[in-house]
A and B are shown apart, each in its own frame.
Chain A
Amino acid sequence: MSMPLSLRAAAPRPRPGLWIGATLAALAAWFALYWQLEGFSGWLVGLLPITPGTHLDEAVRFFAFDTPKVLMLLALVVFAMGVVRSFFSPAHTRALLAGRREGVGNVAAAVLGVFTPFCSCSAVPLFVGFVSAGVPLGVTFSFLVAAPMVNEVALGLLFALVGWRVAVTYLVFGLGLAMVSGWVIGRLHLESWLEEWVRNVRATAADLPPERLSVIDRIRAGLEAMRDIVGRVWVWLIVGIAAGAFIHGYVPAELLAAIMGRGEWWAVPAVVLLGVPMYSNAAGIIPVVEALLGKGVALGTVLAFMMSVIALSAPEMIILRKVLTLRLIAVFAGVVACGIVAVGYLFNALFV
């Protein structure tokens, strides 16, 4: 993937053909490397002086194979999503959602939340920008729930580590949760619970000329996203995989299954309560999810934990406190947490 970067310095004139060619070549190299990975990492671990079949051996194998595998998949998914996201912008999404009815608006907001470039440092201007431009409050919340929760890092890692079925279910239920919780908040008509200055913002949407992006710009956007996200996330990922490797090798399955197994009705609300204040990137939590599943923990319980960690967190609420009154934050967190508990129970009932 480093090839296009070095080409940029060498070529003074933009040559789209070259960029597309280099991207395709990099993709081919990616797939070739990926298929060889398991054999290679197995061979590498085999060289270490570890007795095969021991706890340590199991943990090391998990770590040595999963780390490069997951990093590679993450790089690919983030690159692809970076290219796709270059077709969307917050301003465009806002224009699409402004004045939209509730219901349809909630559905559109949740879906757009997945594709619109969003960074948590932009959450406040985005929130105020949406609300002041006439996007209904509940629709704005649908966006705000979906954007951090249903993202390419979470979906890509679930796909890589747990399988496509769980990834697709997470996508569907994540979107559903964003739609329904936003709709519920909209029905409660809590506009007066916004901070006063937010209600007083009178702004017309800034009139920017539409950006014209070339193919090269879009590939660059993908590379930029890859550099940025993989650069931020890899530490989380390695910590997560190390924790997962520890669970794999050492934590007895009976213990976890007893605490978080399907039989325990209180397990779902308990893990959600535990997860809400916690903050971790999807990259840190999913390897743990994978290891927990391997130990017989119920899927719905694990997913509820994961959703509550990713979708709701103390740092996010502190950021939102600038625009929302405490009462509104409490309603927001309460509605989303209840939704996650419902998703957890539903999952446990569906996937027996």
Chain B
Amino acid sequence: MKTVKILGSGCKRCLATAEMARQEAARLGVPIALEKVTDMAEIASYGLAATPGVVVDGKVVHAGGLTKPEEWAKWLAD
């Protein structure tokens, strides 16, 4: 089980990123616990400069802009 956090204020791109996380995890057969983090103080504590951010098992793997399916394969692999 991997913990995936999507950091973002709830903007369109953040929602799209969360949706992609769900889809890619289902496609790859990796069980994930998906959490959307909208609290600005918590988002800031990860040290991002842009949203949406993606945190997998406590590690920031992406900040700003849309994610790509290939990237999810990498993030969810190990």
A327 at the interface (CB under 8 A from B): no
A350 within 8 A of B: no
Residues of A within 8 A of B7 (CB): 125
Within the complex, the shortest CB–CB distance from B11 to chain A, in Å, comes to 4
> Is B50's CB under 8 angstroms from A206's CB?
no
**Option from B40, B41, B53, B64 in Cβ contact (under 8 Å) with A117:** B64
Say whether B61 contacts A117, CB under 8 Å.
Answer: no
Tell me the bound Cα distance from A206 to B45 in angstroms: 9
In-complex Cβ contact of B43 among A125, A202, A204, A224 (8 A) = A125
Taken residue by residue from 36 to 50, chain B's Cβ proximity to chain A (1 for < 8 Å, 0 otherwise) reads as 000011011111111
Q: Which residues of B contact A325 (CB under 8 A)?
A: none
Majority DSSP secondary structure for residues of A touching B: helix
Whether A206 touches B46, Cβ cut-off 8 Å, given contacts A121-B11, A125-B51, is: yes
Q: Give the number of chain A interface residues (Cβ < 8 Å).
A: 31
A121 to B13 CA separation, bound complex (whole angstroms): 9
The contact size tier of chain B is: 20 to 34
Chain A 258-284 per-residue mask, 1 if CB under 8 angstroms from chain B, else 0: 000000000000000000000000000
Q: Do the beta carbons of A91 and B63 come within 8 Å of each other?
A: yes
Q: Within 8 Å of chain B (Cβ to Cβ): is A169?
A: no
The answer to whether B9 and A129 touch across the interface, beta carbons within 8 angstroms, is no
Q: Is the CB of A90 within 8 A of B60?
A: no
* A161 CA to B20 CA, complexed, in Å: 40
Find chain A residues with CB under 8 A from B12 CB: 121
Assess the A208–B9 pair: CB atoms within 8 A.
Answer: no
B45 touches A203 (CB 8 A): yes
Assembly CA distance A121 to B44 (angstroms):
14
Find chain A residues with CB under 8 A from B69 CB. Answer: none
Contact of B50 among A122, A197, A201, A207 (CB under 8 A): A122
Residue of B nearest to A221 (CB): B65
In the assembled complex, which residues on chain A have CB atoms less than 8 Å from the CB atom of B62? 208
Residues 102-143 of chain A: 1 if any B CB is under 8 Å from the residue's CB, otherwise 0? 000000000000000101011011101110110000000000
| Nearest residue, chain B, Cβ from A198 | B44
Residues from chain A with Cβ under 8 Å of B48 in the complex: 91, 125, 129, 206
Q: Is the CB of B46 within 8 A of A201?
A: no
Residues of A within 8 Å of B64, CB to CB, are 89-91, 117, 122
A136 → chain B, closest Cβ, in Å?
15
Q: Report whether A126 and B49 are in contact in the complex, using a CB–CB cutoff of 8 Å.
A: yes
CA distance A225 to B25 in the complex (A): 27
Alpha-carbon distance A117/B7, docked complex (angstroms): 18
Q: Which of A129, A202, A207 has the most CB of B within 10 A?
A: A129
6 further contact pairs, Cβ within 8 A, besides A205-B47, A206-B53: A117-B64, A125-B9, A129-B44, A129-B48, A129-B49, A202-B45
Spell out A's residues near B (CB within 8 Å): 89-91, 93-94, 117, 119, 121-122, 124-126, 128-130, 132-133, 197-198, 200-208, 224, 322-323
A-B pairs with lowest CB-CB distance, top 7: A121-B11, A129-B49, A90-B49, A206-B60, A203-B47, A90-B50, A128-B44
A-B contact pairs, 10 of them (CB 8 A): A89-B64, A124-B40, A126-B49, A128-B40, A128-B44, A197-B40, A200-B41, A205-B47, A206-B48, A323-B40
